[in-house]
Every structure is written in C-alpha cells, then in structure tokens.
Structure 1
Amino acid sequence: MDADKTWDVNISTSREWALLLILAGIQFTHILDFMIMMPLGPQLTQAFSISDAKFGLLVSAYTFAAGASGLLASLYIDRFERRRLLLVLYFLFAVATLACGLAPTYETLMGARVAAGLFGGILSAMIQTIVADVVPFARRGKAMGVIMTSFSVSTVMGVPLGLFVAAHSSWHTPFFGIAGISFVLVVAAIYVIPTLQGHLHARGETGPLQGIAQVLRDPNHLIAFCFSFCMIFAGFSIIPYITIYMQANAGLSPSDIPLIYLAGGAATLFSAQIIGKLSDKIGKLKMLQIIATIAIIPMALITQTEGMSKIAILIITTCFFVFVSGRMIPGMAMVSAAGNPKNRGTFMTLNSSMQSAAMGLAALVGGHLIERNVEGLIENYWLCSVIAIVFNVIAMLIARQIKVYR
C-alpha cells in the first residue's frame, strides 16, 4: 500500500519518549481501572451479596458502555484536534472513577462503571491513534511495547497494591487511588502531548457519517476488526474469572492472589519490550504467529490448576500473562497500520468498540458457562479455555489477510 503516514509534529526523540511515557501512564490507569474489578470479585460478591453472573455483568457493563461510546465517538473523533479531545475524555474518566470509589450500593457502582466505560472506553483508541500519527511503522512495534508496559506495571504494582489496600481498608479505596493518579496525569499531559491536527487537513469536509462509511467500505478495515474481536474474545473468555477459580478450586488464599499478578506483571514488564523489538526486527505477522501459538499452552492449562502446587500455578498464570498479552503487541501494531491515515481516528475508535464488545461478550459467555456446585467449586471453566483457543486460532488465520499502510 501507500507509504505509512505520520503527521509532522516536529518532536524530538526525547519528546517522543516523554509522550510515550505519558500515554503509557494514561493507559496504565485505564487498564488498572478495568482490571482491578476482576481480583476484587470475591469482595464485591460478598459486599453486595451478588452471584458470579451478576459480577460478570458488573465487569461487562464497563466494556459495553465503552463499546457504545466508541461507536458514538467514531462520528466525531477525526473532527477534533487529538490532544484536546484526549484531555477532556481523560478528565471525565477520572471523575467517573472517583464516583466508583464513592458508590455505596451495587446499583450506584454499576452506574459509575457505565460512566467510566463511556469516557474511558475511547482512551485506548486515542492513544493508539496518537502513536500511529507520530511514530513511523518501522519503530511502532517498540512504541507499542512501551505502551503495553502499562499492562505490566498495572499487574506488577497496581493490582497487588490495590488488593493490599482493599484488604486493609475497603474495596472503595483502590478507585480513589486510580482517580488521584489520573488527575495528576491530566496536568502532565497538558505539557507533554503536542497539538495533532494534520488529520483535520487531510480529511477535508467529509461529514461524520461519510467518514464512518469510508472506514466500513474498506475490506481491509473489516478484516482488522474481525482480527481484533477474536484476539480480545480469546483472552477475556478466561481472564475475568481467574481470581474466583483460583480461590474456589485451586485453593489459593486471598493473600496469594496478588502473587499471581505480581509474578505475571513482572514477567510481562520485560517480555513486552523484547516482543516489541523482535516485532520490528523479524516482522509483526511472524512474531504474532509465534506468540499466539505458544499462548495456546497456558490458555489450556490455566483452567486446570485444581490440585496443583502454588509454584506450578504461578508458572502457568505467569506464562498466561506473558503470551496472551504479548500477542497484542505485534497485533495492535498491525491493526494501527491497517487504517487509512486520514480516517485513522475513526478506524481505531471503531476497532476499540469492537474490542470492548468482545470483552463484554466474552465475560458474559464465561459467566454463563461456569457454575458452582453444592460444595462451592467452579465447574465448566475448562469450556472457557476451549473457546479461548478456538478464537485465538481464528485470529491467527485472519491476521494473514491484513494489509498495512507501509
């Protein structure tokens, strides 16, 4: 295809790194806000006396709201300067997260989660769009690796610290912490993120519906959307119920759960950088195929850890974090280059909606597949592994059809 297009924003290498770090920080709070719900599952189900299925709905509410906001944002995202739009959305996300911490009931928490999803659901798309606008494709694997370290940092420090604080105070406290960090990052982003408006000149006077139509008429975009959906669905068929299964079936205590996230996050902190660099060196598609193939092993094992030792469980869960999240580095580098640059924001926002829908549907499917027996043990979790592996393989096959702008 045409040469990969990055808009000339005249930033130095050091400024580029500062930009990536701020974007990674924003991604960190956004991911942590979503992830902290899953290990808090046992506390929330007890605090509100709700079923596992209702907890799954609480997780899905965020992602469905994020998907809906992404569809709405696709009407306007390429019609505004990127920096200003990101700052406004991120500030509102911080306010919604604060509201989560203040929620006194299940219903008010559900409402706050919906609000957080509405404002935060577009952040990943905005971040990936800005990276694609600024960083050339040849370096984008490494740049995505930096952004993906936000996942690692959230699991290494954010989730364990959040669980520790929640265990010694209440489940409300982690949300207060996330909101506080977010407000600080809003101020930092004002000074670091450059003005990005090259796309405004490139798209001309195209109306919002016309912009969406242009994105949806491109077969390559549709292929990329299907790829994203399958990648996310594979992971989130399993992820939301790991904590509940590990405590109910594998015999881990609540104090053991942070070790899972600490070990997995620490490993991905290093593996993300390696995968990003190798993606640029040997090719994004080849690296995706390697990582996604290896990921099948921990996908199959993580739902079969009942009766295993704590060390064996930590090895399996760590491999799960490394390879399941590792797929997304070359995968998202490919997706970010699959969109036409003049409609990149619309494309990435629709892609984010597709991913949010995949998260929500996967969490709902998993919540209805698993059930508890009379002894309180989780049953049928292995079916989530089967679904995850099937969608992972489908994603690998679809990836071969994606064409990138380079």
Structure 2
Amino acid sequence: MKHHPDLFDAQTLHHDTRLLFKLKLLLGTVCAYGGEVPLSQTELAKRMGTSTYRIRILLHKLEHEGIIHYNNAGTLFFDRYIFVRDQAEVSQETLYAKNFAFFTCDEFLSEDRNVQRFVLHYVGKELIYIPGNFRWGYINDLYGPTGLLNIRTPKEAITILKKASKYLKIKIHTENFQVLNVHSKWIDMGEIYSEGAELWVTKQLMKHRFCCDFISRKAVWQIAKVMEDYYAKFGYEYATEIFDHALFSIQNYKRRSQTFFNMIYREDSSYIVNEEKNELNEISAYFRSVMESAELNYAVQLSVELEQIKQKKHMAETNLSANDEISIMNQELIEAAHSQQVKVWDKLRLIHSCWLNRFRQHPEWFIQHYYRIRTLPAPILEIKMEIEKYMNRQKNTRSQAHIV
C-alpha cells in the first residue's frame, strides 16, 4: 500500500501535532489490503514510543475526521492509502506520495509548523519527487482566510518560502514561486517503504498457528504476492475469506501439506534461484493452487450452509399456525433465517462473479473441477453453462479432427 497524496494536504494538517502526523505516516506504512491495519493499539504505541492511552485518543480523533474506521469485528482500517501493484503502469489514479525518511527526523520536526506543512504539501500532495516534475504557485494563495497556510500577510508567506528552501529548491518571484525538487541531502536519507503486506500475512499465519519465527521472510513475500493478485482482481472481502480458508486447509491436512512446510520453513539464503530453477516461485505457485482449491471448498461449504438455513426456515414456516407464543418465536426464526440466507447468497454470487472473470482467461481449472461445481446451488449458474459450452466445443473439435 502507498500513501495517498491527500494525507499531505496542508489544509488537513492545521491542527496535527507531531505525534498525530507521525501516527498517520505509521498507519500508511503498515496498512495492508483494504487499508486493514494488522497491528494492535499496543503495538502501534510501542512503535511510536508512547502510551496506548495516547494512541487510543489519537485514533478516536482520526476516526472522527474520517481518516480511519473500524468494521463490525473491531478491525482497524486506514482510509488514506492507494493500492499500487509493482507491475502496474503509472496513471493519475495510482499516483502516490513517497514517505521520505526526513519527514520524521528531529531537524524537520523542529521547524515552524507552517514550514513543515508547506514542505509536506509540495513533496507529497503535489508529487514533485517525480523526475522532471515541478509546480508553480501564487504567493497570495498561501495566506489569508482561505490560504493554504494559517498566516496573515505576504511577508509571512515569503518567510515560510525562504525557510522551506532548506528542504526544497524554490525560485521566488514577486507574485509567484516555483518548486523544483527536494534537495539531495534529504532524498539521500532514504524512504520508509510499506511493510503492510508482510505484517498482514504474518498475522494471518500466526492466527493459524504457523511458527512464524522459523518461516523464511522471502517465503512470506511469495505468499503475499498471491494475496496481492487475489486482492487486485476480486477485492478485499473475497480475497481475505479465501486466504483464511487456504491457511486452514493447509494446517488441517498437515501430511498432504508437508511439501509446503518444507518450502517455507527454511533460511532465506537456502533457496535456489537461477535460470533453471526458482524455488521462490514454486512457493507462490503452490500456494496459488491451495487458494484455488480453497475457493471450491468454500463454495461447497456455503452451499451446505444455505441448505441448512432453508430447512430451518421451512420448519419455522410450517409451525406458524401453532399458538401465539410459538408463532412469534417462529416468525423471529424466519426473519433471522432470511437474513442469513441473503448473506450466504451474496457470498455465492460474489464467488460466481469472480469465477466468471477467471474462467474467461484460464478455463482449464474449471473443467477439471466441473464435477463439483455443477452441484452448487442457483447463484452458481452462468459459470456452469459456460463450462458446458466450452466442453461441448472441445468435444466437437476433437470429433472433427478425428473425422479428418
């Protein structure tokens, strides 16, 4: 995950303390798929060198400002991120702000608050780190009631620009200024890269009782690559659900999964990577096959669950004519069953949509598992027809080839 440029908008930094801004940067660095933050409040406090109480207060403020939110399970999500795949082409929608190390160095944080905000705005929001990029600005846009900074006069604006020139190469004119780049001294301090994917995968592995102290970090990144692909194609809800089922199936069938254990419980330096053999790619290929199997198992599990809900609902409906007290209870059961039925139905529809997209690119897996897919309930409908059409075309092609 990458930092969203809006995180550096000077107008949103008016009342940020140093600690609050550092927390924003940390959340942007550790957030993973869907913006999920895989660290607890205690872990965030430890990283920030402060108390859990202060972190809780700051998170409450960020929640009020709409920068974070919690889901029904109480999981924390950061909303100022951009998902950018390494191989994705740069576009206006995927432009992101780099998290330069100098943002949190003592020298920069000791500057006047308006100087900090100006530098952050032009480095992050205006994205001047792109080679050859530059920005013009009007001095009178910096001050006054609607100004970018909370200053009152042109003189103050000029002072801010001169102080900011310590970090940025700036040309100041009578009414305008031009920001060209960041001085190499600060660029050379480096960047703080996202660690969200690694943290998220490690957290999930720990939840399923993998011994993470002995798992290769390179292996974690190979697993994260598969999760990234699922997330990019199918979204947060589906990808996380299937990932969870995949890890469960591995731990539930240890003998069958011994090959995978041998792949991941190794030293980083022990992997063979050359033109003839790439053991790291074998990890992601194996885990992808586990994810695909988990999709099918998940769909079958949902179909069983759906049938059980239907039976429960039917039994409650047949008893509606009993006495008033029982009828009220049955009505509540019917309503609860209907709500559960809708949720399961929606999950099956999501699976169906994801499968349709993948079938058009790689139909072989679906042909191989058609005997199980055809038993799934009604939401899984169009994919069955597509598979049958594909199989019939293949059959006709073979028949024609045999005749010739």
TM-score range, shorter chain: under 0.3
More helix by share: 1
Task: Choose between structure 1 and 2 for higher RCO, CA contacts under 8 A separated by at least 6 residues.
Answer: 1
Tell me the TM-score normalised to structure 2 length. 0.25
More strand by share: 2
Tell me the TM-score normalised to structure 1 length. 0.25
Task: Name the larger-Rg structure.
Answer: 2
